[in-house]
Amino acid sequence: MYRALKPLLFQLSAETAHGAIHAVLRGVESASPARSALDRWYGVDDDRLRVRAFGNEFPNPVGVAAGFDKNAHVPQSLAALGFGHLEVGGVTAERQPGNPKPRMFRLPEDEAIINRMGFNNDGADAIGARLDANPLPDVPVGINIGKSKSTPLDEAADDYGYTYERVAEAGDYFVVNVSSPNTPGLRDLQHSDALREILTALVEAGASPLLVKFSPDLSREGIAAGVELAEELDLDGIIAVNTTTEREGLRHPKRVEEGGLSGAPLRERATSTVRFVAERTDLPVVGVGGVFTAADAYEKIRAGASVVQLYTGMVYRGPSIATEINRGLLALLERDGFDSVGDAVGADL
Ligand SMILES: Cc1cc2nc3c(=O)[nH]c(=O)nc-3n(C[C@H](O)[C@H](O)[C@H](O)COP(=O)(O)O)c2cc1C
């Protein structure tokens, strides 16, 4: 059905299409029979897909990446589409409009998106209250925390801390996002001293499980230092990766747009970062970037990812993407003689 719908959606601007999909999902969110029907249609229930990582039990390894449900409007609907977890946000302490539109661009020839949304979100007070008031799905729900645009970098720790306190009750895990390219200076926080201050503040506030999400544009030394810091502070995992500002190999004219690039062109870079991280730590790694198919997910799992996430893949492949990946993963596990996803994690290291 998505094959029929996609040309129509692709006539709309990327953000308008996203809004249309969200409107449908919001309808589903409040309609329990619709959610049950989707769940029956899209769910792939198989013990071999179950993963335990950073204190959570994932029914399958395919999650929704941060940015898709920034305001926590549709967590149950996403779970009903067969996803094994989802990450709400980025949430910032302050409510923010984000950058002026247009700020999200599809590059169909490249199967990519460039976005410079700039953390548009309802803010920690509203999102925390929404999460507390509404039922959540029975798959893990992570909360991705970003920095408010107006907060100076040297006050970032308090800003992240404020948001954490507002979403603390609802999250099954928490992510410090210092890797979005669309908030000026944010990625500078990946350097050790600033990152140490933010992570320490959250650890002291009781944020657990706590993960940190890195940019693929950070140098290898920078990532290695981040991994060491995560170990030293006893964090629970690492997410690799966020969008990139690189533009190599793109064909579509929109490649000149400013912002973070996601999708197929990010795939290899993301996988090599997953491998780089997994080679350096026993902390669980969440692999994200260019996951469209079971083979893509499997590659990241074999490179060391315990679970994977996707955003751009859903735009290009549609709502059955989690189902297709999970079914495909079962076939790949069987082909290679693995009893479960867990057995395949890091098989290529
Ligand atoms: C429109 C859009 C908004 C995003 N917003 C966030 C965000 O708020 N926080 C974050 O950590 N990542 C955000 N991301 C990055 C994704 O979570 C993911 O790391 C990246 O898109 C790579 O995965 P993909 O190739 O499957 O899209 C966003 C991505 C897109 C396309």
Residue 264: CATH number of its domain = 3.20.20.70
Rounded CA separation 151/136 (Å): 30
Q: Are 231 and 196 in contact (CB under 8 A)?
A: no
Which residue bears the tokens 């469209």? 292
Could you tell me the pTM of the whole model?
A: 0.98
What are the φ and ψ backbone dihedral angles of 235, each rounded to 5 degrees? -70, 175
Q: Are 145 and 175 in contact (CB under 8 A)?
A: yes
Residue 56 maps to a domain: yes
Instruction: Reply yes or no on whether the pLDDT at 183 is more than 80.
Output: yes
Q: Is 67 annotated for ligand binding?
A: yes
Residue 336: per-residue pLDDT: 98
Closest-CA residue to 61 (of 262, 274, 218)? 274
For strands 112-115 and 260-263, give the pairing: antiparallel
Residue 343 maps to a domain: no
Closest-CA residue to 229 (of 308, 283, 148, 180)? 283
Residue 153 maps to a domain: yes
Q: Is 162 annotated for ligand binding?
A: no
| pLDDT tens digits, one per residue of 237-264 | 999 999 999 999 999 999 999 999 999 9
Q: What are the distances in angstroms from CA 321 to CA 190, 191, 221, 303, 327?
A: 32, 35, 34, 21, 10
Q: What are the distances in angstroms from CA 265 to CA 27, 51, 67, 290?
A: 33, 27, 18, 7
User: How many structural domains is the chain composed of?
Assistant: 1
Q: Please give the structure tokens belonging to residue 286.
A: 């969440």
Determine whether the shortest distance from the Cβ of 180 to ligand 1 is under 6 A.
yes
Residue 214 maps to a domain: yes
Residue 254 maps to a domain: yes
pLDDT band for 191, please (50, 70, 90 cuts).
Answer: confident
Active site residue 150: no
Rounded CA separation 76/97 (Å): 25
For strands 56-58 and 51-53, give the pairing: antiparallel
Rounded CA separation 174/66 (Å): 11
Residue 345 maps to a domain: no
Look at ligand 1, atom 21, and give the residue with the nearest C-alpha.
262
Residue 118 maps to a domain: yes
Q: From the CB of residue 296, how many other CB atoms can be counted at a distance below 10 Å? A: 22
Determine whether the shortest distance from the Cβ of 43 to ligand 1 is under 6 A.
no
Q: Is 90 annotated for ligand binding?
A: yes
| pLDDT tens digits, one per residue of 298-308 | 999 999 999 99
Look at ligand 1, atom 19, and give the residue with the nearest C-alpha.
242
Rounded CA separation 148/118 (Å): 10
Look at ligand 1, atom 3, and give the residue with the nearest C-alpha.
67
Average pLDDT score over the chain:
96
Q: Please give the structure tokens belonging to residue 274.
A: 């997953």
Residue by residue, DSSP assigns 15-56 as HHHHHHHHHHHHHHHT-HHHHHHHHHHH----GGG-EEETTE
316: containing domain: 2-338
Q: Are 142 and 173 in contact (CB under 8 A)?
A: yes
Up-side HSE of residue 204: CA atoms within 13 Å toward CB?
Answer: 11
Q: Are 12 and 64 in contact (CB under 8 A)?
A: no
Residue 349 maps to a domain: no
What is the percent of the chain with per-residue pLDDT over 90, rounded to a whole number?
Answer: 94
Determine whether the shortest distance from the Cβ of 265 to ligand 1 is under 6 A.
no
Instruction: Reply yes or no on whether the pLDDT at 228 is more than 90.
Output: yes
